Structure 1
Amino acid sequence: MTNNLRVIQHAWHFRFGLSLVFTVVKLSVVDACFTP
Structure 2
Amino acid sequence: MVGNNNITNCLRVIRNAWHFYYALRSVFKVACGSIGIALLTYMVSPQFCKSAV
Q: Which range, TM-score by smaller chain?
A: over 0.9
Q: Which runs of 5 or more structure 1 residues have no equivalent in the other structure?
A: none
- The structural deviation recorded for 1:11 is 0.2
TM-score by length of 2: 0.65
Structure number with bigger Rg: 2
**Matched pairs, number:** 36
TM-score by length of 1: 0.94
Runs of 4+ with >4 A deviation: none
With CA pairs under 8 Å and 6+ residues apart, which has the higher RCO, 1 or 2? 2
